[in-house]
Amino acid sequence: MQKRKLGKSNLEVSALGLGCMGLSHGLGPATDSRQAVSLIRAAVDRGVTFFDTAEVYGPYVNEEVVGEALAPVRDRVVIATKFGFTFGDDNKQQILNSKPEHIRRAVEGSLKRLRTDCIDLLYQHRVDPEVPIEDVAGTVKDLIAEGKVKHFGLSEAGVQTIRRAHAVQPVTALQSEYSLWWREPEKEVLPALEELGIGLVPFSPLGKGFLTGSIKEGATFGSDDFRSKVPRFSPEAIKANQALVDLLGRIARDKGVTSAQIALAWLLAQKPWIVPIPGTTKLHRLEENLGAAAIALTEAELGKIADALHDVTIQGDRYPASLQSRVGR
């Protein structure tokens, strides 16, 4: 597996990481913990060194699984986790909270669940409008000085927030959605990251499964699957957005690879400081995804994709209305 550095930092990771959320949270029933541990260790065996989790995934369960899986190889891997929420009495309600004292409590909990004494990359999961980002960055700066955290990251933050945070404590990485069906970061975010020397970690690089071609017209999702609430996965949107999947399929067939591999290879080709974190619960999908790191798209192929994208209009918002206000702040 090739390695990449996130921005101008010295944080080197595998060119593709593993997003671990779906093993415990958000995309249907949680995977059996033994199977989840086995999958994560299989990723290590195949050269993955970058693993992404968060306290909110579960809540808490995903960090425990990641901690158990990676404890035997802790010195060989980079673990990223996130703070930024408190939870209602039922542990389902997510309430934004990035107050300094809460950040410290969250970090102590994450350290225990991850079975480590230091978090490699600590993200603010969502920007909290009630807490100045300077206070958040300052708290993480103190945690770095105390040796509990190595690198600071933001997730789904807007450009001005990124700049303000970076002025207090250098930001190593921004984690945000970016893929062939969500290219909004290209307008303002990517140029700012390049200017500041910050890496980008795209989540949902396969469009929550849509870009693989496995989600067909008529697909339905259970109530415990986040996609059941996402406008982009409405029956009408799935039908309308099939044009992008068809495009990917044609390009993949010409190259003798899969649609998922083309989608990931396209992301890797955009910038050398981009590290996607596709998630999966299946070993064969893990191997398929990792195969994308060895696929080099030529300038002609990238041009063909760019030309074809001009003819494709993606329909449907990527978040339900209740969550739209939490991104891009």
Residue 1 has a pLDDT of 93
Inside any domain, residue 151? yes
Q: Which residues contact 124 (CB under 8 A, 6 or more apart)?
A: 82, 83, 84, 98, 136, 140, 153, 154, 155, 157
Inside any domain, residue 306? no
- The pLDDT tens digits for 56-100 are 999 999 999 999 999 999 999 999 999 999 998 777 789 999 999
Inside any domain, residue 252? no
Please state, in angstroms and rounded to a whole number, the distance separating the CA atoms of residues 93 and 232. Answer: 23
**Catalytic one among 57, 60, 123, 178?**
57
Distance from CA of residue 267 to its chain's centroid? 13
Inside any domain, residue 264? no
3-class secondary-structure state, position 12: strand
Please state, in angstroms and rounded to a whole number, the distance separating the CA atoms of residues 8 and 170. Answer: 10
Contact 198, 7 (CB under 8 A): yes
Residue 308 has a pLDDT of 86
φ, ψ of residue 232 to 5 degrees: the values are -70, -15
Inside any domain, residue 42? yes
Q: How far is CA 244 from CA 210, 248, 263, 271, 319, in A?
A: 10, 6, 11, 22, 19
Q: How far is CA 307 from CA 181, 247, 302, in A?
A: 14, 11, 9
- The pLDDT tens digits for 181-210 are 999 999 999 999 999 999 999 999 999 999
Inside any domain, residue 201? yes
User: CATH number for the domain including 274?
Assistant: 3.20.20.100
Residue 255 has a pLDDT of 94
Inside any domain, residue 164? yes
Residue 310 has a pLDDT of 87
This prediction's pTM = 0.97
Helical spans, DSSP H, in the chain: 33-45, 61-70, 100-113, 133-145, 159-168, 189-196, 235-255, 259-270, 283-291, 299-309, 321-324
Inside any domain, residue 194? yes
Residue 23 has a pLDDT of 97
Q: Which residues contact 206 (CB under 8 A, 6 or more apart)?
A: 179, 212, 260, 263, 264, 278, 289
Residue 90 has a pLDDT of 77
Q: Is 57 a known active-site residue?
A: yes
Residue 325 has a pLDDT of 87
Provide the residue type at 42 as one letter. A
Neighbours of 147 (CB within 10 A): 9
Domain span at 284: 3-209+270-295
Residues of the chain below pLDDT 70: none
Q: Which has the closest alpha carbon to 124: 154, 94, 149?
A: 154
Number of domains in the chain: 1
